[in-house]
Structure 1
Amino acid sequence: MAGPAPFGGLPDSPATGSGFRPPAQPRSVGSGRLWATGAATAVVAALVAVVATTLVRGVLGIPLFAPHRAGAWGDITTGNLAGWAVAGALAATGLLHLLLLTVAQPRAFFSWIAGLVTGALALLPFTTTLGMDEKLASAGVFLAIGATITGLLATTAYSVVSFPDREGW
């Protein structure tokens, strides 16, 4: 078929001439870069946990994850939360790696899975006997951590994948 490319600026498929061209399959995943990205995401997620907890405890005055007398930084539970944020980011990196190697549209599946896990964690405080302020604050902190992990990994996913050469289409 001659003329301009009918589908997203890509030339016609030589097999069908229909203008549709399937996406290229990844040739390889740069595992080192992916896991370095996951490690950087883990650091950012831990910092988000500390900053969000400090905001809630210090600025808003809500005794989140520790008694009020523990101050703006809280107690060991703030460190535990940061540690779980690191673990969550590394687990999400492993999930993303698996999806990049195995499924079509891995970023879409990753975003759905990570978003649903984040939503479940944000709903968890509402199953407790905490006051409504503590429930809302806990949910907000969990949402901030989950959104950070999901956003950073989903937006950088394809920067670690190399695709085969598209010449010859």
Structure 2
Amino acid sequence: MTDPRYNYDPQYPHQGQPQYSQGQGQYSQGQYPQGPGEPPEPKINVGKLWAGGIGTAVVAALLVVVAIMLVRGVLGIAILSPEGAGAYGTVSTTSYAIAGAAAALLATALLMVLLLAMPSPLTFFTWICLLVTAVAVILPFTLVADLDAKIATAAINLLVGLAITTMLSSVGSAAQYPARQPGY
């Protein structure tokens, strides 16, 4: 038995082609009618996006810990706790690392909203993250501390902000479904 769509019958020249009711017009190239009850295709892979966001949060937290250990242990600059607290410092280091991870998760939530609702979402995401990073870099200079501690904290904030921005921008582009090409 053969597929009737591939059999040409001169009596029925439009067999296998979409039928249009009067006044509907024709489909343009690349457009396909959506069946009743079919949900629209999602624009993003949410699982991939949040997996990348969690990975970014872990990297941000570890980056804070490594940077503080470098600044305190190798450079001898006391940030977040007194000099005698050792290379790790105190619970302030843990709080700072958790704050870095939380910033990455908040940025992931922002990225998801932008991917769902905005044109050019990665451009907006990059700009927002860079401006928040600029605030985080400037903030230590408004506090009362030694200048070297301010500079070290600003450098750590810059490093973590850039890591979150670049990693999540890559995750956002990987989590997007490619747009359907006309004619496919």
Match of 2:107 in 1: 92
Match of 2:129 in 1: 114
TM-aligned CA deviation for residue 131 of structure 1: 1.2
Identity, in percent, stands at: 43
In structure 1, runs of 5+ residues without a counterpart are 1-13, 15-25
CA–CA distance in 2 between the matches of 1:84 and 1:123?
Answer: 17
CA–CA distance in 2 between the matches of 1:137 and 1:164?
Answer: 44
Match of 1:32 in 2: 47
CA–CA distance in 1 between the matches of 2:177 and 2:56?
Answer: 21
Q: Within 5 Å, which residues of 2 pair with 1:48-59?
A: 48-59=63-74
Give, as a single letter, the amino acid of the residue that structure 2 aligns with 1:140.
A
Match of 2:155 in 1: 140
Match of 1:62 in 2: 77
Give, as a single letter, the amino acid of the residue that structure 1 aligns with 2:102.
A
CA deviation map 1:121-154 (0-9, x unaligned): 1100100121110110010111111111111001
Structure 1 residue runs of 4+, over 4 Å off? none
CA–CA distance in 2 between the matches of 1:62 and 1:54?
Answer: 10
CA–CA distance in 2 between the matches of 1:158 and 1:126?
Answer: 34
Match of 2:90 in 1: 75
TM-aligned CA deviation for residue 27 of structure 1: 4.5
SS in 2 for 1:65: coil
TM-aligned CA deviation for residue 96 of structure 1: 0.3
Answer whether contact 2:64 2:97 (CA < 8 A) is retained. Answer: yes
Answer whether contact 2:43 2:115 (CA < 8 A) is retained. Answer: no
Decide which structure has the larger Cα Rg and report it. 2
Structural RMSD (CA): 1.4
Give, as a single letter, the amino acid of the residue that structure 2 aligns with 1:89.
A
CA–CA distance in 2 between the matches of 1:162 and 1:98?
Answer: 15
Answer whether contact 2:60 2:97 (CA < 8 A) is retained. Answer: yes
Answer whether contact 1:27 1:164 (CA < 8 A) is retained. Answer: no
Give, as a single letter, the amino acid of the residue that structure 1 aligns with 2:151.
L
CA–CA distance in 2 between the matches of 1:129 and 1:33?
Answer: 42
SS in 1 for 2:98: helix
